[in-house]
Structure formats: C-alpha cells, structure tokens
Amino acid sequence: MLEESTGNFSATRNVYDWYQTATHVILNIMIKNLKESDVKVKLIDETLDVSCSLADGNEFKLHFNLFKSIYVSESNWTVSPSKLEV
C-alpha cells in the first residue's frame, strides 16, 4: 500500500480507516464537508485510487495495491457530511 497526501494533515491523525467482511472491503476517509464533485475514485483490477479536492485548495490522495481483483461493477462510493465511504 502506498499513501500520498498533499493535504494539511498531521502525521499522527488517522484520516482513514478500513474494515473487511467475507465479501467486502470498506474504506472510510474522514474528511468533512466534501461534495461528490470534489471526489474521484478510480478502481482498476487490483488498485484503488482516491483523490479529494479540499476546501483549502489542497488535494488528499490515497493509492492502494490490493490483494485480489476488484469487482468494479459491484463497487460504489458515497459522500456524507462527515466522510467518504468506498
């Protein structure tokens, strides 16, 4: 897993967490007040890329190399007032 961020986040602050069930992996990115237009999620084979444009003009990015292939057609993401969930 590779993580990159140009956002203004403390190194000690957990900006994201994840959990896994028998059939799904869920990623929560705790950034408040995102709009769907601020978010880009790219799922290809065994990679997940997330990019969020922040209110201060910075960009938050995550890149994951996953263990198995993603069922892209069955994947989704949602934006709520407190987080992005993939």
pLDDT tens-digit readout, 45-65:
889 999 999 888 899 999 988
Q: Is residue 30 predicted with pLDDT exceeding 90? A: yes
pLDDT band at 83 (very low <50, low <70, confident <90, very high): very high
Report pTM. Answer: 0.78
The domain ranges of the chain are 16-85
d(CA 73, CA 6): 30
Looking at residue 14, what is its pLDDT? 60
Q: Is residue 12 predicted with pLDDT exceeding 50? A: no
Contact indicator for 55, 33 with CB cutoff of 8 Å: yes
**CATH for the 16-85 domain, from 2.60.40.790, 3.40.640.10, 3.30.70.60, 3.40.50.620:** 2.60.40.790
Looking at residue 25, what is its pLDDT? 85
User: In sequence order, what are the residues at sequence separation of 6 or more whose Cβ sits closer than 8 angstroms to the Cβ of residue 54?
Assistant: 7, 8, 31, 38, 60
User: In sequence order, what are the residues at sequence separation of 6 or more whose Cβ sits closer than 8 angstroms to the Cβ of residue 74?
Assistant: none
